[in-house]
């Protein structure tokens, strides 16, 4: 059960306790006013009321209404409480004031969820319930009904409920504004978190995110014995591109290469910009032999593609290392970096693979 559901159920528990207190007061007042205890059917009405209340609470606790605009079912429950109090009022006209106070006490419960329209609706519903009680009580010919007094009481009730509705509407406006601000802050926070781990130029994850993911991958390898491979990818002679075509074209080359790397690996893998013209691929669940084939295909794809609006041919050198059990995450990264150096020293545009101290060169 989430925190929201717990908060909702706590509020409903307080509301149910409040109704129970009014019910106890009603039964005590009934005995004082009429000289005997309330008839059994009134107790049955109270039982039916609480069964309905508990059904609503149970539905809320299951989470089935989580996607509703009002997951606390505020309006139906308020309507159910007011109906209960109206029925009890009808059977004991002398205790109408007690139940009318109950009307007023249940209204603040709507502050948590009701909209301004909802407050107007529950106000009109309350007035209609009271009017029906008076009508049926008058039709029954009750001697306890004084029309003038009931008219004054009805007007007072209407004014009180309208005041509550007005205040509730203000709360609704403030709650909506607060919710919108919260949503804006959440979006801004999500954007900040995204920028903190994303390279702005290429859209790939940055070095910080790479190192964090590398630690997670290492923990996964230790727990479940899942291998992984790290590959450094560096653009050959990239400085010449910037010198000849300018940094704008150079940025286009970096962005297009980043896109090629992203679409060349699986969702479980990671492509990150390490810095400058260097990229790192983290290939999960692969050994060196399988990774070698993937990286060779990437090298060939780069070699066959024209980059940027200047249609420049590029090549990449790739150094590859596999994680060894229990070694620090930085060590596999350093070994891949050393293999990249060997790839460049061996003539560039190639993949160098290390396998437990043994390096095999793929031209």
Q: pLDDT per residue over 155-178, tens digit each?
A: 888 888 788 777 777 777 777 787
User: Quick one: pLDDT at residue 165?
Assistant: 74
The residues pairing with 228 across neighbouring beta strands, listed in sequence order, are 284
What is the overall mean pLDDT for the chain? 86
How much of the chain, in percent, has pLDDT values that exceed 70? 94
- pLDDT class of 252 with cuts at 50, 70, 90: very high
Q: Which of 93-97, 201-205, 232-236, 301-305 has the lowest mean pLDDT?
A: 93-97
Distance CA 288, CA 272 (A): 19
Phi and psi, residue 336, nearest 5°: -65, -35
User: Quick one: pLDDT at residue 362?
Assistant: 37
User: Quick one: pLDDT at residue 363?
Assistant: 35
Mean pLDDT of 138-167: 76
The residues pairing with 280 across neighbouring beta strands, listed in sequence order, are 232, 272
Residue-wise pLDDT for 77-92, tens only, equals 989 999 999 999 899 8
Tokens of 151: 């008219």
Tokens of 89: 């009022």
Distance CA 57, CA 300 (A): 63
Distance CA 287, CA 295 (A): 12
User: Quick one: pLDDT at residue 292?
Assistant: 92
Mean pLDDT of 45-50: 94
User: Quick one: pLDDT at residue 312?
Assistant: 94
User: Quick one: pLDDT at residue 158?
Assistant: 83
pTM of the predicted model as reported, rounded to 2 decimal places: 0.53
Mean pLDDT of 232-257: 94
Q: Are 307 and 253 in contact (CB under 8 A)?
A: yes
User: Quick one: pLDDT at residue 359?
Assistant: 38
User: Quick one: pLDDT at residue 145?
Assistant: 65
Domain ranges of the chain: 3-192, 207-362
- pLDDT class of 62 with cuts at 50, 70, 90: confident
Q: Residue 285 class from Cβ within 10 Å (0-12 exposed, 13-18 middle, 19+ buried)?
A: middle
* Res. 356: pLDDT tops 70: no
User: Quick one: pLDDT at residue 358?
Assistant: 45
Q: Residue 316 class from Cβ within 10 Å (0-12 exposed, 13-18 middle, 19+ buried)?
A: buried
Q: Are 119 and 164 in contact (CB under 8 A)?
A: yes
Give the containing element (helix H, strand E) for 28. Answer: helix 3-34
- Under DSSP, the state recorded for 267 is T
Position with higher pLDDT, 108 vs 43 = 43
- pLDDT class of 142 with cuts at 50, 70, 90: low
Position with higher pLDDT, 164 vs 198 = 198
* Res. 222: pLDDT tops 70: yes
- The third-level CATH classification (topology) of the domain covering 207-362 is Alpha-Beta Plaits (3.30.70)
- Under DSSP, the state recorded for 282 is E
In degrees, to the nearest 5, what angle opens at C-alpha 40 toward C-alphas 35 and 41? 115
Please list the active-site residues: 277
User: Quick one: pLDDT at residue 144?
Assistant: 63
Strand extents, DSSP E, the chain: 228-235, 270-275, 278-284, 306-307, 312-313, 316-322, 351-355, 358-362
User: Quick one: pLDDT at residue 314?
Assistant: 94
User: Quick one: pLDDT at residue 345?
Assistant: 92
Mean pLDDT of 282-296: 93
Mean pLDDT of 232-253: 94
User: Quick one: pLDDT at residue 240?
Assistant: 93
């Amino acid at each position: 059960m989430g925190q929201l559901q717990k908060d909702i159920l706590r509020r409903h528990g307080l509301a149910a306790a409040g109704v129970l207190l009014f019910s106890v007061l009603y039964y005590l007042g009934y005995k004082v006013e009429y000289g005997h205890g309330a008839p059994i059917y009134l107790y049955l009405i109270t039982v039916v009321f609480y069964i309905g209340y508990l059904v609503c609470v149970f539905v809320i606790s299951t989470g089935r209404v989580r996607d509703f605009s009002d997951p606390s079912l505020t309006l139906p429950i308020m309507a159910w409480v007011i109906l209960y109090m109206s029925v009890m009022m009808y059977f004991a006209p002398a205790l109408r004031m007690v139940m009318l106070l109950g009307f007023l006490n249940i209204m603040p419960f709507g502050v948590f969820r009701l909209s301004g329209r909802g407050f107007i609706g529950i106000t009109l519903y309350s007035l209609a319930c009271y009017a029906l009680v008076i009508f049926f009580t008058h039709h029954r010919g009750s001697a306890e009904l004084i029309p003038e007094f009931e008219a004054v009481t009805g007007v007072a009730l209407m004014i009180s409920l309208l005041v509550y509705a007005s205040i509730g509407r203000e709360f609704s406006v403030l709650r909506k504004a607060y919710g919108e601000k919260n949503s804006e802050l959440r979006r801004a926070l999500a954007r900040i978190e995204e920028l903190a781990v994303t390279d702005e130029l290429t859209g790939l994850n940055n070095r910080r995110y790479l190192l964090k993911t590398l630690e997670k991958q290492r923990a996964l390898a230790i727990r479940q014995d899942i291998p992984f491979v790290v590959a450094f990818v560096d653009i050959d002679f990239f400085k010449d591109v910037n010198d000849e075509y300018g940094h704008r074209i150079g940025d286009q080359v970096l962005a297009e290469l980043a896109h090629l790397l992203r679409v060349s690996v699986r969702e479980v893998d990671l492509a990150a910009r390490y810095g400058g013209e260097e990229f790192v691929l983290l290939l999960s669940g692969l050994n060196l032999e399988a990774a070698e084939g993937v990286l060779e295909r990437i090298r060939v794809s780069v070699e066959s593609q024209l980059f940027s609006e200047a249609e420049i041919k590029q090549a990449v050198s790739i150094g590859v290392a596999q994680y060894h059990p229990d070694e620090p995450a930085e060590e596999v990264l350093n070994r891949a970096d050393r293999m990249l150096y060997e790839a460049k020293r061996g003539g560039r545009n190639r993949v160098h693979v290390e396998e437990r101290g043994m390096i095999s060169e793929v031209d």
